[in-house]
């Protein structure tokens, strides 16, 4: 197997050097799934992987949340099959076959085998959709609660209904090769998502956001103060965020993730967090905050963006797009592609047309080097420092923004909303 670019949501980027691993049978194929989609164990996910050539080299991959309603399955199946083939062709060659993975833990009252049976009609729809495009599905696996089933093995007997256990962690060729090339052990999609979303609605947080929204949104959308007022709001947002960042940097490390997140939540005041969240809806404030990706700041910045995203519940859920996108950027910049894909995917779930997140998501999926963006951010910071110095020394006391000022992400308006 040779890894290559994925084609859609939660895609894996290729390693710097081509790595070939031979997967022997569906058990090792199921075990390899986290490595194929970027370093995490998916849940509630449908994954399609294109195969090329007689040896079944992996090509484009696509991950999507499992569609909930069975009546949606035929149309979803046709769209996914068409998307995988078109994107694969755009990256080079049309696939020769497809492998499917359906991943979901049992619901309350279910057994893993019930998940497998419930997903069987969706698998059939996907096989039909791919077959209509002359690309056969050569394997389709259900992965649930540490077990796997193949939908493509003919003559399965009654014993196979209980499925097969996934291989022990670290025991397969894929795991050994990943360790050899320095890839981290796959994490859990659910665990990563829990660090980025509210566990429950908090009325105090919502009241603070209501108050901040009543104060800031009219001013951000065109108050009487114009550019001066926008600049004041931006500076206030960045000052508050910078002060919070320093508190996060000063806090001692905690290895247990849930405990660390609870401690980080307490480092933010309700009013302070609300003002930062609302202020980050301004794209220039967000772009300035994206500059906090250097090694000395990255860990604290990532924790801060996570904590802010966890505050965005109820009517403010879509406000999480900005801190989630910033979390995805810092994670990617720090080499954690798995969390980057999760965070950016969650940002796009909340704001599908959020250009900042879309550009970052595309960059991660295409395997681009984050140093290119880091270089741009450093240049912008350098220009700003030079402009400020010139303004202090110049006869007029003013400095223009200068040509070539490009904001990251969307150019629709100063505010995202």
DSSP state at residue 14: P
One domain for residues 282 and 315: yes
Rounded mean pLDDT, 138-144? 95
- In the prediction, which pLDDT does 49 show? 93
Residue 53 DSSP code:
T
Answer yes or no: is 19 within a domain.
no
- 202 and 93 inside one domain: no
Task: Give the least confident one: 54-63, 126-135, 167-176.
Answer: 167-176
The answer to whether residue 11 is domain-embedded is no
Q: Which two tokens stand for residue 336?
A: 């954690």
pLDDT more than 70, % of the chain: 84
pLDDT of residue 343: 96
The verdict on residue 151 lying in a domain is yes
Euclidean distance between CA atoms 11 and 238, whole angstroms: 32
Structural domain total, the chain: 2
Task: Flag whether pLDDT at 267 surpasses 70.
Answer: yes
> pLDDT higher for 102 or 28?
102
| CA-based end-to-end distance of the chain | 44
Q: Phi and psi at residue 142, in whole multiples of 5°?
A: -105, 130
The lowest-confidence range among 31-40, 66-75, 112-121 is 31-40
Please determine, for residue 410, whether its predicted confidence score (pLDDT) is greater than 70.
no
- Find the range with the poorest average confidence among 38-42, 108-112, 118-122: 38-42
Q: Are residues 328 and 238 in the same domain?
A: yes
Statement: residue 223 has pLDDT above 60: no
Return the pLDDT at 23. Answer: 79
Q: Judge whether 406 lies within some domain.
A: no
Q: Which residue has the tokens 């370093």?
A: 39
pTM greater than 0.75 (yes/no): no
- Alpha-helical regions (H) of 58-100: 73-90
What pLDDT score does 90 carry?
79
Give SS3 for 149: strand
Assigned domain for 4 exists: no
pLDDT of 10 > 80? The answer is no
- The per-residue pLDDT for 333 is 94
- Helix (H) / strand (E) element for 140: namely strand 137-144
Q: Are residues 179 and 216 in the same domain?
A: no
How confident is residue 54, by pLDDT bands cut at 50, 70 and 90?
confident
* Reported confidence tier of residue 409, pLDDT bands at 50, 70, 90: very low
| Residues 137, 118 within the same domain | yes
Where is average pLDDT lowest: 186-200, 262-276, 379-393? 379-393
What was the pLDDT predicted at 320? Answer: 97
CA–CA–CA angle 60, 184, 349 (5° rounding): 55
Whether residue 144 sits in one domain with residue 206: no
Per the document, the length of the chain is 417
* pLDDT of the residue at 337: 87
User: 94: number of CA atoms within 13 Å, CB side?
Assistant: 7
The verdict on 185 and 205 lying in the same domain is no
Range(s) of the domain holding residue 255:
195-393
* Mean pLDDT confidence for 3-12: 38
Distance CA 263, CA 16 (A): 37
If asked whether residues 219 and 366 sit together in one domain, one would say yes
Q: What is the mean pLDDT of residues 20-33?
A: 82
408 has a pLDDT exceeding 50: no
Q: 315-344, pLDDT tens digit by residue?
A: 999 999 999 999 999 999 998 888 999 999
User: Residue 302 pLDDT more than 90?
Assistant: yes
Q: What was the pLDDT predicted at 226?
A: 62
Both 135 and 93 in one domain: the answer is yes
Indicate if 387 and 319 belong to the same structural domain: yes
pLDDT at 11 over 50: no
Judge whether 10 lies within some domain.
no
Same domain, 142 and 212: no
- CATH number of the domain that residue 67 is part of: 3.40.140.10
Whole-number average pLDDT of the chain: 85
62 contacts 87 by C-beta, under 8 angstroms: yes
% pLDDT > 90, the chain: 57
Q: Is residue 267 part of a domain?
A: yes
Contacts of 348 (CB under 8 A, 6+ apart): 9, 321, 354, 357, 358, 361
Beta bridge partners of 102: 46, 142
Residue 116 neighbours by CB under 8 Å, 6+ apart: 142, 144, 149, 163
Residue 14 has pLDDT above 70, yes or no: no
In a domain, residue 218? The reply is: yes
User: How high is the pLDDT of residue 296?
Assistant: 93
- State whether 60 and 158 are in the same domain: yes
């Amino acid at each position: 197997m040779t890894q290559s670019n994925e084609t859609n949501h939660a895609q894996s980027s290729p390693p710097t050097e081509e790595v070939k691993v031979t997967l022997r049978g569906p058990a090792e194929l199921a075990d390899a799934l986290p490595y194929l989609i970027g370093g995490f164990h998916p849940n509630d996910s449908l994954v399609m992987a294109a195969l090329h050539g007689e040896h079944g080299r992996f090509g484009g991959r696509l991950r999507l949340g499992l569609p909930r309603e069975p009546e949606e399955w035929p149309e979803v199946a046709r769209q996914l099959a068409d998307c995988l083939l078109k994107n694969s062709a755009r990256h080079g060659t049309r696939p020769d076959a497809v492998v499917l993975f359906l991943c979901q833990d049992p619901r309350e009252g279910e057994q893993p085998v019930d998940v497998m049976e419930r997903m069987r009609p969706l698998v059939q729809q996907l096989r039909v959709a791919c077959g209509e495009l002359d690309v056969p599905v050569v394997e389709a696996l259900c992965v649930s609660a540490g077990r796997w089933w193949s939908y493509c093995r003919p003559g399965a007997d009654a014993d196979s209904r209980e499925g097969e256990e996934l291989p022990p962690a670290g025991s397969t060729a894929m795991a050994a090769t990943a360790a050899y090339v320095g890839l981290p052990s796959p994490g859990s999609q659910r665990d990563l998502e829990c660090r980025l979303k509210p566990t429950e609605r908090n009325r105090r947080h919502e009241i603070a956001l209501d108050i901040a929204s009543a104060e800031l949104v009219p001013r951000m959308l065109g108050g009487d103060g114009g550019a001066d007022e926008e600049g004041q709001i931006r500076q206030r947002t960045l000052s508050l965020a910078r002060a919070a960042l320093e508190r996060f940097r000063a806090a001692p490390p905690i290895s247990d993730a849930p405990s660390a997140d609870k401690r980080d939540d307490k480092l933010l005041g309700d009013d302070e967090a609300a003002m930062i969240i609302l202020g980050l809806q301004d794209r220039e404030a967000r772009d300035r905050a994206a500059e906090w990706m250097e090694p000395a700041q990255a860990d604290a910045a990532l924790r801060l963006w996570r904590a802010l995203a966890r505050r965005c519940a109820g009517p403010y859920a879509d406000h999480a797009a900005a801190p989630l996108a910033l979390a995805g950027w810092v994670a990617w910049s720090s080499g954690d592609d798995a969390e980057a894909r999760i965070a950016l995917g969650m940002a796009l779930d909340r704001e599908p047309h959020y250009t900042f997140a879309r550009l970052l998501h595309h960059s991660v999926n295409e395997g681009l080097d984050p140093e290119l963006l880091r270089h741009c951010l450093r240049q912008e910071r350098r220009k700003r420092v030079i402009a400020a110095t010139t303004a202090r020394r110049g006869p007029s006391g003013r400095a223009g923004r200068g040509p070539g000022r490009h904001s990251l992400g969307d150019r629709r308006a100063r505010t995202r909303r």
